[in-house]
Amino acid sequence: MLYAVNFCFAHLMHSRRPSALRHSVIALGLSLALSACTNIPTLPDQHVSLATNWAQQHALLAQTPDIDPASWWTAFHDPVLDTLVAKTQAQNLSLAQAAYRLHSARALIQQAVAAGLPEITAKAETQHQRKLSSSHNASPLMDPTVDGDLAPDSERTTGYYQAGFDAAWELDLFGRVSSQRDSAHSAAGVAYSDLRHVHVSVIAEVVRNYVELRAQQQRLALTEQNLADQTTLLQRTQERHAAGLIADYEKDQIHADLISLQQQQLQLQQALQQTLLRLAVLTGESSVDTELRALSPLPNPQQLGFSMLPAELLRVRPAIQQAEFKVTQASAELGVAQADLYPRLRLLGNLSISDNLTGKPLLGRTEIAGGSFSLNIPLLDWGARRAVVNAREAQLAEAILAYREAVLEGVEETENALLAIATHTTAVQQAQQKLAFTQHALNRAQELYQQGMIPLHELLDASLQKRRSQMEVVDAQAEQANAVIALHKAVGGAALPASLLDMQSALHPRS
């Protein structure tokens, strides 16, 4: 339950009560309000110590040029991918939703700014009335339209108007209004950081799915080649089996291997179609782009340079920026709660004019101007407002800890991505070395087969081993590309397109 005292300046100035009593009540209210703002707890430290360099810095070659964080996907040198990203930036529905969230937060800033400005409202009223009947002994005290015992016919219809303005302005004595404004600005900052986070995540998902699409196409093409060789091998095996040259189990094993390859083909076709559909959704379309169906080589990042320092994450990573804005928002909300412990002062004013329209229902034209102020002092609320302050303090402490956690998570993701790049770069080199050996073995097998020194199934087996090595290269290159994607997602790469850049003004609208 809240008990508050509203003081009107005009009432206090003309009250007939002893002034000492009035002063005592005011002093009591101020003392209660001011004393309620004590005992603010110590908040957690917001500072996070960061290393001067990455632990996995050795993962990248120092002589390679750096990738531009604003357009890091161009390091894949794939025009189709560049077009796909541009289409995503223009049409992705998640991005559009985040943009509207920013528009909403921006609109609420103006509301908070307006709360600190004078509010003026206009009002107007008119009334017409017609007297249908009256008693001859009607009294003017009972009917103000009767001018004497009997009103003439010309005054049986009367009317008047009244118009004016009311003004009110809350003085920001204890920072309540400014804290609300700061909270709205911080909320817009949170929304802007969310837009950047969505943009970074969506672009990373598009590139990752595109890389996976090209890898699936390569795997499918190699699997189909293996199917052709396995089909040929089965035909030759059946011929040899019919001639009694091999046992049943050899033929059955080759047949089973063929079925396994057919199952792999179906799985790859399904995964490829799912990836195409996912790319369609990311680009805001309902149908698959036919250009993506064409077999194309797997994009391979040619630039792996990276010179960003850990401290720079605080400036560019959207998740850290969002956590920082949430700290300032929680601080502003605490300011609002603390200001509610203090009195609130509002200046009031009004101007009105009234006059007759028909007859004489009023005494005549009247103009009234007035001014006053209203003072609201919280006296007794049984700790309700202090409880809100305590809650806001806890929320601020939580936001500070969440900020520190966001910084640590950013460092963790970046270090993991750098480690993954180093690991998969080595894996690519090893897979390519293995491919070179299997290619050499296949070349030798072809020579021996042409000389009649080995049977066909040994040649086909060598060919199968080579394609398996090719698949391992594809897998390793895809993992390497995904590590590069994860790195630039971790550091918050990908600049907002021009269509969204103007939304940064949401943090500093006109006030």
Tell me the pLDDT tens digit for each residue of 142-152.
454 444 444 45
User: What is the number of other CB atoms lying within 10 angstroms of the CB of residue 405?
Assistant: 13
- Token output for 300: 């391979």
Q: What average pLDDT does this structure show over 81-101?
A: 91
Q: How confident is the model at residue 60 (pLDDT cuts 50, 70, 90)?
A: low
Q: How many CA atoms lie within 13 A of 236 on its CB side?
A: 12
Closest CA to 473 of 428, 426, 424: 428
- Per mean pLDDT, which range of 323-327, 378-382, 495-499 is the poorest? 495-499
Q: What average pLDDT does this structure show over 2-28?
A: 39
pLDDT surpasses 80 at 75:
yes
Tell me the pLDDT tens digit for each residue of 272-316.
999 999 999 999 988 888 888 888 888 887 665 666 677 777 778
- Token output for 372: 């006053």
Q: What is the DSSP string of 164-212?
A: EEEEEEEE-SSSHHHHHHHHHHHHHHHHHHHHHHHHHHHHHHHHHHHHH
Q: How confident is the model at residue 504 (pLDDT cuts 50, 70, 90)?
A: very low
Q: Are 164 and 356 in contact (CB under 8 A)?
A: no
Q: Are 147 and 155 in contact (CB under 8 A)?
A: yes
Tell me the pLDDT tens digit for each residue of 166-222.
888 888 888 889 999 999 999 999 999 999 999 999 999 999 999 999 999 999 999
Is the pTM higher than 0.85?
Answer: no
Tell me the pLDDT tens digit for each residue of 209-264.
999 999 999 999 999 999 998 898 888 888 887 877 778 888 888 889 899 999 99
Cα–Cα distances (Å) from 264 to 82, 146, 220, 221, 469, in that order, read 31, 101, 8, 11, 16
pLDDT surpasses 50 at 433:
yes
User: What is the distance between the alpha carbons of residues 215 and 296, in angstroms, rounded to a whole number?
Assistant: 9
pLDDT > 90: percent of the chain: 37
Q: Are 190 and 322 in contact (CB under 8 A)?
A: yes
The confidence score (pLDDT) of residue 373 equals: 85
Hey, where are the domains in the chain?
50-113+178-337+383-507
Closest CA to 280 of 74, 480, 93: 93
pLDDT > 70: percent of the chain: 79
Tell me, what DSSP letter sits at residue 268?
Answer: H
The confidence score (pLDDT) of residue 403 equals: 93
Q: Three-state SS for 55?
A: coil
User: What is the distance between the alpha carbons of residues 316 and 329, in angstroms, rounded to a whole number?
Assistant: 20
Cα three-residue angle 42-181-111, rounded to 5 degrees: 150
The confidence score (pLDDT) of residue 401 equals: 93
pLDDT surpasses 50 at 507:
no
To which residue do tokens 């006059």 refer?
Answer: 355
Q: How confident is the model at residue 362 (pLDDT cuts 50, 70, 90)?
A: low
To which residue do tokens 């939304």 refer?
Answer: 503
Number of separate helices (H) and strands (E) present in the chain? 11, 5
Q: How confident is the model at residue 15 (pLDDT cuts 50, 70, 90)?
A: very low
> What interhelical angle do 93-114 and 79-91 show, nearest 10?
40
The confidence score (pLDDT) of residue 304 equals: 57
Q: Are 337 and 309 in contact (CB under 8 A)?
A: no
Tell me the pLDDT tens digit for each residue of 45-56.
777 777 767 777
**Phi, psi at residue 332, to the nearest 5°?**
-65, -40
Q: Alpha helix locations (H) across 92-175? A: 93-114
Q: What class has domain 50-113+178-337+383-507?
A: mainly alpha
Strand partners, 358: 159
The confidence score (pLDDT) of residue 303 equals: 60
Q: What average pLDDT does this structure show over 353-366?
A: 74
- Token output for 186: 């911080």
Give 194 or 26, the one with higher predicted confidence. Answer: 194
The confidence score (pLDDT) of residue 7 equals: 37
Q: Alpha helix locations (H) across 283-363? A: 313-316, 318-339
Tell me the average pLDDT of the chain.
80
Strand partners, 380: 3
Q: Using DSSP bridges, classify how beta strands 344-358 and 366-380 pair: parallel, antiparallel or unpaired.
A: antiparallel
Q: Are 74 and 82 in contact (CB under 8 A)?
A: yes
User: What is the number of other CB atoms lying within 10 angstroms of the CB of residue 230?
Assistant: 20
